[in-house]
A and B are shown apart, each in its own frame.
Chain A
Amino acid sequence: MHQTIDAALGINLLHANQEGADHNRTHFDEWGVTCFNVMSSPGAGKTVLLEKTLAALRDQLRLAVIEGDMTTELDANRLRAYDVPVVAINTGRSCHLDAKMVAGGIHQLELCTNPRELDLVLVENVGNLVCPAEFEVGEHAKVALLSVTEGEDKPLKYPVMFQAADCLLVTKIDLLPYLNVDIEQIQQNVRQLNPHATIIPVSAQTGIGLTEWFEWVHQQVTQRCQAIVGSH
């Protein structure tokens, strides 16, 4: 007898990725490592931010980078100059990192360093304001960048990214005198969606705001360490 049956599933489409992300996070937690997922559109300044961060913090924190790039190792090579472990993941045609790719990156990292001796892993996602927001990779915090040259409206047009961010860096503010952009409006547009994010205007060129960013990084790592100590 043939009959049509309706089976309720109610499974999230990203269920498999979420499981992978949770698995990665469990590893980070066991090792006492904090992980940030750094996201933005292409050219917003993720790599230069990481360069400044590695240069300033490598003597204070034990850092490593998992670098997502569609086809090249250009960004990874820039970061290797700072003498910290850098693992490059080529995503091929995929426009974002997912949990499985980052798991691969973690395994590569284990080959070149002891992850238990790290404090912070910075995952630089593929430049894209859309999909990276939906694919967790196991991070403890999401860091989004928006350069002032992109315009005030981007948080409204790409809301999922800005709604999910724990920290938003408004970058390239040294260019403000040359642009018809209202940085207050950028912040207000983000606040409509995300009242709790830490918003830090920065310029990697002049160094404005970077101290505040480094403090935020330290604060996150310290909080995580305390949470781990507290759980034992």
Chain B
Amino acid sequence: MHETDMTKALIATVKDWYDSQPEDPQIIKIHLVVGNFTCVEPVSLQFAYEVQTRDTFLAGTELVIRETPLIAFCHACQREYTPEIGLRYACPDCDTPMEDIRSGRELKIDHIEYCSDSVSAYAPNH
């Protein structure tokens, strides 16, 4: 259910970007990065996106989701490890609790592919 709200947030953010462009860009794909250590399920997000973008400026656009694994860094062992989500989060070697998460918390709009009539519409990261 919360993917509906995430999608609303996604659409609102893309709309802000869309409105800030000098001319209406024709969006083709939106690339997201979604970490495995978030409350977001990519399949549900895809479904919510399709439903919620119907009859909007994003109708027919593709949502591309790249998932990132949960990776933590153990300061005692000075190395990265992959916690087993749902089973075990502490360091497998020394049992130190998971504190330093290096990957898996991402929840971001990475980039947008769009078509434009003029080169001047290019608006990179700001």
Residues of A within 8 A of B (CB): 1-17, 93-96, 98, 130-131, 133-135, 156-157, 159-160, 163, 191-195
Q: Counting chain B CB atoms within 10 Å of each CB, which of A9, A135, A192 scores highest?
A: A9
Do A13 and B111 touch across chains, with their CB atoms under 8 A apart?
no
Contact A159 to B85, CB < 8 A, known contacts A13-B9, A98-B5 = yes
CA distance A134 to B125 in the complex (A): 25
On whether the beta carbons of B108 and A2 are closer than 8 Å, the reply is no
B77: CB under 8 A from chain A?
no
Q: Is B97 positioned at the interface, with any CB of A under 8 Å from its CB?
A: yes
Contact of B110 with A8 in the complex, beta carbons under 8 Å: yes
Tell whether, in the assembled complex, residue B107 and residue A13 are in contact, meaning their CB atoms are under 8 Å apart.
yes
Given contacts A6-B113, A7-B111, A192-B98, is CB(A14)–CB(B9) below 8 Å?
Answer: yes
User: Are A16 and B12 in contact, with the CB atoms below 8 A?
Assistant: yes
The winner among A14, A94, A130 for most chain B CB atoms within 10 A is: A14
- Complex interface: chain A residues within 8 A of B5 (CB): 94, 96, 98, 131, 135
Contacts of A1 in B (CB 8 A): 117-119
Other-chain contact of A8, B39, B88, B111 (Cβ < 8 Å): B111
B interface with A by C-beta (< 8 Å): 1-2, 5-6, 9-10, 12-13, 17, 25, 28, 32, 37-40, 85-90, 97-99, 107-119, 121-125
Can you give 19 A-B contacts (C-beta < 8 A)? A1-B117, A1-B118, A2-B116, A3-B115, A3-B116, A5-B25, A5-B121, A7-B114, A7-B123, A7-B125, A9-B110, A10-B110, A12-B107, A13-B32, A130-B2, A134-B40, A134-B107, A135-B5, A156-B89
A7 in contact with B124 (CB, 8 Å): yes
| C-alpha spacing A2/B121, complex, angstroms | 11
Contacts A2-B115, A6-B111, A130-B2 given: A157-B86 contact, CB under 8 Å?
yes
Query: CA–CA, A160 to B99, complex, Å?
Result: 12
- State which of A9, A95, A98, A193 has its C-beta within 8 Å of the C-beta of B17: A9
